């Protein structure tokens, strides 16, 4: 009997110790704890480390992660202001802001992200529908308004999420923007046609500019040639004047020899190896060819 009593006492003591151990709980550095007493939540415990509570089943501890979480919204089709179908991929960065509201409404991450999905879908439809396609995709970076659009998305989601579900949304962004597969081929054709139109315009502008350059070049060429010809005529006139002066000087020194040289020059110009000449016996040329001197 004593042995049985001791065993019962040991079992009872162990049971009491195990039951008493449920009065101690630990809150991690990235967690917030809420004690529910008979299913009624008490103030949140935010200080990390060990804490005391009434043993189970009086008190129960619920832990909530305080790290930033990312919710990836699946690509969804929307209509822009100018009636263009687009496929928008987006995401939200969020955390638990109010643990009691979160506990009362959604309780866990899966349910919270289901609410985020509904809110973001509604906000994306409203915001994307208020901007034309050129505000999302544009060859001119200054006309892209994604920063403004993201701010509107955050404003549209943050207030309702915090008030209704205790969710604090830190950021909402569009991270991909495309066209639905069924519209992609026609959009690419329109883009190609637009690029061809722009290329044609650029080529026309280039041809026009080339004609202007060619006309200016031709004008400069004619001006340079005219100046060169004028200068050549001046140089030629000066040279001829100098030649005449030299000829005159030579003529003054020895008129007979000068006349002889000029005659030879004239004959050299009009006579070649295939030339046949018929001369009179009293001609000056015959006399010069016969005697070899004037």
Sign of the CA dihedral with 226 first, then 232, 233, and 238 last: positive
- Judged against a pLDDT cut of 60, whether residue 289 lies above it is answered with yes
Query: What is the distance, to the nearest Å, from the Cα of residue 194 to the centroid of all Cα atoms in its chain?
Result: 18
Q: What pTM did the predictor assign?
A: 0.57
Q: For residue 195, name the pLDDT band (cuts at 50, 70, 90).
A: confident
d(C-alpha 294, C-alpha 279), whole Å? 17
d(C-alpha 26, C-alpha 49), whole Å? 5
d(C-alpha 51, C-alpha 53), whole Å? 7
Per-residue pLDDT of 109-131, as tens digits, reads 999 999 999 999 999 999 999 99
d(C-alpha 285, C-alpha 275), whole Å? 14
Mutual angle of helices 255-270 and 284-291, in 10-degree steps: 100
Q: For residue 18, name the pLDDT band (cuts at 50, 70, 90).
A: low
Per-residue pLDDT of 199-208, as tens digits, reads 999 999 999 9
- Dmax over Cα atoms in the chain, in whole Å? 183
Per-residue pLDDT of 159-183, as tens digits, reads 999 999 999 999 999 998 887 877 6
Residue 94: which of 172, 30, 152, 156 has the closest Cα? 172
Which residues, including other chains, have CB under 8 Å from residue 120's CB and lie 6 or more apart? 71, 73, 90, 92, 153, 157, 172
């Amino acid at each position: 009997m004593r042995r049985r009593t001791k065993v019962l006492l040991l079992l009872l003591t162990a049971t009491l110790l195990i039951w008493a151990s449920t009065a101690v709980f630990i809150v991690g550095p990235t967690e917030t704890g809420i004690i529910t007493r008979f299913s009624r939540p008490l103030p949140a415990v935010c200080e990390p480390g060990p804490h005391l509570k009434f043993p189970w089943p009086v008190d129960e501890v619920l832990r909530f992660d305080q790290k930033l979480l990312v919710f990836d919204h699946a690509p969804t089709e929307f209509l822009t202001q100018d009636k263009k179908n687009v496929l928008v991929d987006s995401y939200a960065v969020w955390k638990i802001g109010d643990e009691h509201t979160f506990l009362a409404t959604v309780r866990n991450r899966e349910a919270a992200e289901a609410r985020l999905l509904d809110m973001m879908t509604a906000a994306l439809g409203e915001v994307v529908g208020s901007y034309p396609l050129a505000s999302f995709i544009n060859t001119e970076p200054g006309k892209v308004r994604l920063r403004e659009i993201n701010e509107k998305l955050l404003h549209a989601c943050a207030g309702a999420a915090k008030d209704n579900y205790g969710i604090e949304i830190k950021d909402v962004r569009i991270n991909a923007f495309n066209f639905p597969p069924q519209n992609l081929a026609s959009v690419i054709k329109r883009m190609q046609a637009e690029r061809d139109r722009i290329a044609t315009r650029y080529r026309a502008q280039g041809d026009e500019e080339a004609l202007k350059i060619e006309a200016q070049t031709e004008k400069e060429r004619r001006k340079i040639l005219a100046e060169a010809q004028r200068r050549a005529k001046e140089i030629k006139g000066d040279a001829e004047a100098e030649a005449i002066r030299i000829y005159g000087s030579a003529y003054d020194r020895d008129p007979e020899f000068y006349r002889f040289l000029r005659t030879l020059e004239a004959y050299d110009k009009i006579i070649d190896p295939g030339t046949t000449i018929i001369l009179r016996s009293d001609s000056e040329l015959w006399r010069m060819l016969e005697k070899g001197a004037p």
